[in-house]
């Protein structure tokens, strides 16, 4: 799997993401770290926009990164069907650029949230959750101040109707309720797809749940699904 991880000033999860991709695809598939000032991303099977605090989040989260030179190529490759994954700040960037609908606002409690939580897989679909079961619950970490997903009712209904809500916040048994909605996201949304299904944005960090020593391996199936989908597509 030939993967590119895009790095902005303030990105801090690129090494975690690289470790997750290498573990899923094999150590011979070392991802490339691409500085945001580059302008070309041709030839990659997967493009990842990892978490962190791009440009210190001094404006809207992801707004400044959304104007970086590399974003034009990310958009072009996404339109060609290349798989794109944005996690946390990466999700924010994808919404700022219009690759995904909606916005990420301040958490409902107006506090930074850093904890383990549970998310439910709503749909088994390549390339992201092809190796997971519908309804599968994963225990993963969140670390964000602006993770409150918001969109107008028409957009939310369209996401639901098109089965583009891929992950929701839940409890350890998969129950979705207001109590399990840790940041106020509408309809407990934790991750969504674009219309083509090749772009995923999600707030939780699956890359930090790939090793028992670090607290669990519930994030690994997503990366294994990505690796398998790339091999099958080749």
Which residues are tagged catalytic? Answer: 88, 205, 207
Q: How far apart are CA 5 and CA 14, in angstroms?
A: 7
Alpha-carbon gap, residue 119 to 170, rounded angstroms: 5
Return phi, psi of residue 4, to 5°.
Answer: -115, 130
By the 8 A CB rule, do 138 and 121 touch?
Answer: yes
Q: How many secondary structure helices (H) and strands (E) does the chain include?
A: 5, 11
Evaluate the CA torsion angle 132, 137, 143, 149 in order and state its sign.
positive
Strand, helix or coil for residue 32: strand
Task: Find the DSSP H helices in the chain.
Answer: 14-25, 70-80, 89-96, 153-161, 220-233
CA–CA distance, 234 with 224 (Å, rounded to integer): 16
- 201 by Cβ neighbours in 10 Å (0-12 / 13-18 / 19+) ranks as buried
CA 13, CA 205: separation in Å to the nearest integer?
Answer: 9
């Amino acid at each position: 799997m030939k993967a590119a991880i895009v790095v902005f000033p303030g990105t801090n999860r690129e090494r975690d993401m690289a470790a997750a991709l290498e573990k899923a695809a094999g150590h011979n598939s070392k991802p490339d770290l691409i500085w945001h000032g580059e302008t070309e991303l041709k030839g990659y099977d997967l493009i990842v926009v990892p978490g962190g605090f791009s440009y210190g989040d001094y404006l809207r989260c992801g707004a400044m990164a959304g104007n970086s030179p590399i974003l034009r190529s990310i958009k072009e490759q996404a339109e060609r069907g290349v798989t794109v994954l944005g996690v946390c700040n990466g999700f924010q960037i994808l919404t700022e650029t219009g690759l995904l609908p909606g916005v990420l606002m301040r958490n409902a409690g107006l506090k930074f949230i850093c904890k383990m939580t549970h998310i439910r897989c709503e749909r088994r679909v390549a390339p992201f959750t092809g190796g997971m079961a519908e309804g599968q619950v994963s225990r993963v970490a969140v670390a964000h101040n602006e993770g409150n997903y918001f969109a107008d009712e028409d957009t939310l209904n369209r996401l639901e109707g098109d089965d583009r809500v891929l992950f929701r916040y839940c409890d350890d048994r998969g129950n979705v309720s207001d109590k399990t909605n840790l940041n106020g996201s509408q309809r407990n949304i934790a991750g969504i797809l674009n219309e083509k299904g090749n772009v995923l944005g999600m707030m939780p960090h699956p890359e930090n749940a790939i090793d028992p020593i670090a607290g669990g391996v519930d994030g690994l199936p997503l990366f294994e699904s990505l690796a398998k989908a790339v091999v099958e597509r080749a």
